[in-house]
Amino acid sequence: MIVVLSKDISEHDTKLVRAFLEDNGYKAREQTFGDDTLLSASGKGQLDTRELQLLPGVVRVAATSKPYELASRETQAEDSIVTVGPVKVGGARITVIAGPCAVESREQIAETAARVRESGAVILRGGAFKPRTSPYAFQGLGMKGLEYMKEAGEALGMPIVTEVVSPELALQMKDLTDMFQIGARNMQNFELLKRVGSLGRPVLLKRGASATIEEWLLSAEYLLASGARDVILCERGIRTFETFTRNTLDISAIPVVKGLSHLPVIVDPSHALGIRAYVNAASLAAVAVGADGLAVEVHTNPDAAFSDGPQSLYPDQFEKLMRDVEALAPVAGKELQRLPSPKSLAASDGTAFSGAWTAAFSLVGEKVAFSGRSGAFAERALINIFGEETQRLPVPSFSSVFDAVLDGSAAFGVVPVENSLTGSIHENYDLFLRYPDIVIVGELKLRIVHCLMAIEGTTLSEIKTIRSHAQGFAQCRNFLDEHTEWYLETHPTTADAVLSIAKEKSRTIAAIASEAAAKAHGLNILKAGIENNPQNYTRFVVISRKQDGKQLVPAALGAQKPNKASLVFSVADKPGSLLLSLQCLSGEGINMTKLESRPILGQPWNYLFYVDFTIPEDEGLLQKALEDLKKEAVTMQVLGVYRAAV
């Protein structure tokens, strides 16, 4: 049973509640989850929960049917997000942990850390103490190895995770590791679990080779009951009759556990398969079924590794895996998490591209603006980029997003610019001309799944009016054509349409919007996936205000060198002027990915040309191309330099 206490409960009343539970045969443990303080009551006692509910300071009482009370979704319905240094595990982002099986030397861990960091890993893994089946196998460098790994992680701005093998070592290791790992062999070493749980560090708990899902969650319960607040579950394969692979990856455990528990779940494909050739495929499968991250073994020279060489990826293989995960993430409704650059980056005004391109900008205390209300697709894009913890500023229109960024109400904004089914969102392209101090600093591709929703009890036959944004109607045209009797009513955003129905509570009105919008406003989904084509993606861009002529990028987006730029230009009214302008790019071997014309307001039959292009490795070629284009075009404006969505 879980007792949720008031935020302002006195110490005296807390003691009264605890005493009441203990007098009735329960053992009470105090825990904090988010903003809530809980008493977890376990035991074989009996009491009338209504009496408990009447005690001063008690907000609610929840009876749980699971033996793992604190880890259960019955205790906490929302997903937990675990903080490990600057990294958030869980929620809308996929976290990748990488590094060697064992720390072998100072040089080895430093080199491997640099390679995985460059490819996109955000947490460094490595074993300083290695429990091995054979007593003659390499057992690790001990505390010296942990010092080497901590040094490598700090140099690159990466938190580290390492295995703890005994309660005695846990206290010694506490100040050198950012997260403890409980290995598969120790999943049911309860004294170790209790000691590690009491130390307050995040914990990565691997599933035992023969453990059931319930046993795994009960081990997590030991950690939580002992005081741990941040626990990550790691599926690493179980022992079956199959011998071709090292273990059998229980891919089904991921959605099952995420349904039972609020704790984040990641997958270790290296230990699951034991063969590097299959690690990439298993990793993508894990992402597809909803894993919150991966823990992958990488070694610069696997053939000479002291342990687990056959399952360790070469750095080049890991780089390809990261690209594949980044491409798959939008299908799973997530975004690959990145760390800011470890170096202090200089800002760029968008016309010079000399190496460093951004000024890393902390979002602490700052807001990000989006158009719509809770549940809007733009909000989901915002969360995927910046994380659930970011302060959000909902505004009524796209132009309001630009206004909020320009006047400083928000540090950044998120707006859609293109849909894979309906094309460009011209209103936002035009806004860049009205706001020349606003630039694009990031990009995200979000899969759009539209749902038909209404108040509880509504049937299709009762509906007379459908509300949504114009883009929502366009993207669901095939479905709507089957119901010509419905009247279509356009709203500023899909989320606004949902909110209006929630307020009016009419069973004759339905909305087209996201599943998140239905959940946020208490509507029932009548039909999901009504978009014309499942390959329905919207390209969102992050915008910021130029300061002193420089573009600033949030730290979360500054991890990688930009590979894309956007600009707009106009040409003279003479034969071949557009061709000559585009030859400024093609002549330097620059690949143009988009070209679109838009009428110039107030100048009938005159046009602006919007261009997206990839940034070449040789930035000198790009610099020359832009200088030539500036001479050839009548006007030219760089809209932004950023990292493109895959």
Residue that is last in its domain, among 336, 371, 404: 336
* % of residues, the chain, pLDDT over 70: 91
177 vs 158: CA distance, rounded Å: 11
Residue 262 or 341, more confident: 262
Asked if residue 355 is part of any domain, the answer here is no
* Domain range enclosing 173: 82-336
Tokens of 11: 């110490």
The mean pLDDT value for 61-74 works out to 80
Same domain for 86 and 162?
yes
Specify the CATH number for the domain of residue 592: 3.40.190.10
Q: Are residues 181 and 236 in the same domain?
A: yes
CATH number of the domain that residue 14 is part of: 3.30.70.1140
* pLDDT tens string 202-259: 999 999 999 999 999 999 999 998 889 899 999 999 999 999 999 999 999 999 999 9
The DSSP code for 143 is H
Does the pLDDT at position 273 exceed 80? yes
Tell me whether residue 22 is in a domain.
Answer: yes
Answer yes or no: do 464 and 442 share one domain.
no
CA distance 240 to 246: 10
Pairing of strands 231-235, 265-267: parallel
Contact 231, 223 (CB under 8 A): yes
Is 32 tagged catalytic?
Answer: no
More confident residue, 352 or 266: 266
- Let me know whether 197 and 299 are in one domain: yes
Residue 287 lies inside a defined structural domain of this protein: yes
* Domains in the chain, number: 4
Whether residue 225 sits in one domain with residue 97: yes
Range with the poorest average pLDDT among 15-29, 447-461, 490-504, 582-596? 15-29
pLDDT at 357: 39
Over the chain, what is the mean pLDDT? Answer: 88
Same domain, 384 and 479: no
Q: Per-residue pLDDT tens for 344-392?
A: 333 344 444 433 334 445 555 689 999 988 889 999 999 988 888 889 9
Whether 513 and 494 have beta carbons less than 8 Å apart is answered as: yes
Q: Which residues contact 281 (CB under 8 A, 6 or more apart)?
A: none
237 near 250, Cβ under 8 Å?
yes
Strand ranges inside 436-476, DSSP E: 438-447, 451-454, 465-468
- Has residue 447 got a pLDDT over 50? yes
User: Between the ranges 22-26, 308-312, 350-354, where is the mean pLDDT highest?
Assistant: 308-312
- Contact call for residues 287 and 332 (beta carbons, < 8 A): yes
Question: Distance (Å, rounded) from C-alpha 257 to C-alpha 184?
Answer: 17
Residue 378 within a domain = yes
What is the H or E stretch that residue 99 is in?
strand 93-99
Identify the pLDDT of residue 346. 34
Domain boundary among 486, 501, 528: 528
Residues 544 and 570 in one domain: yes
Contact 315, 362 (CB under 8 A): no
Does residue 635 carry a catalytic annotation?
no
Out of 306, 412, 538, 609, which one is annotated catalytic? 538
Give the pLDDT of residue 6.
85
- Tell me: pLDDT of 607 over 70: yes
In total, the chain counts a number of residues equal to: 646
**Cα separation, 151 vs 157, whole angstroms:** 10
pLDDT band at 548 (very low <50, low <70, confident <90, very high): low
Check whether residue 480 and residue 515 sit in a common domain: yes
Contact 560, 439 (CB under 8 A): no
Residue 487 shares a structural domain with residue 403: no
Together in a domain, 283 and 235: yes
Domain assignment present for 68: no
What pLDDT shows up at residue 52?
A: 85
316 and 302 in a single domain? The answer is: yes
- Look at residue 283 and tell me if it is in a domain: yes
Taking 3-state DSSP, the helix, strand and coil percentages for the chain, each rounded to the nearest 5, stand at 35, 30, 40
Tell whether the model's pLDDT for residue 550 goes beyond 90.
no
Cα(645)–Cα(540) distance, integer angstroms = 9
Instruction: Give me the pLDDT at residue 559, please.
Output: 55
Average pLDDT estimate for 560-572: 87
Bridge partners (DSSP) of residue 371 are 395
Among 509, 528, 547, the domain boundary falls at 528
Selected catalytic residue, list 377, 402, 479, 540: 540
- Assess whether 275 and 322 both reside in one domain: yes
Determine, yes or no, domain membership for 74: no
Indicate whether 379 belongs to any domain.
yes
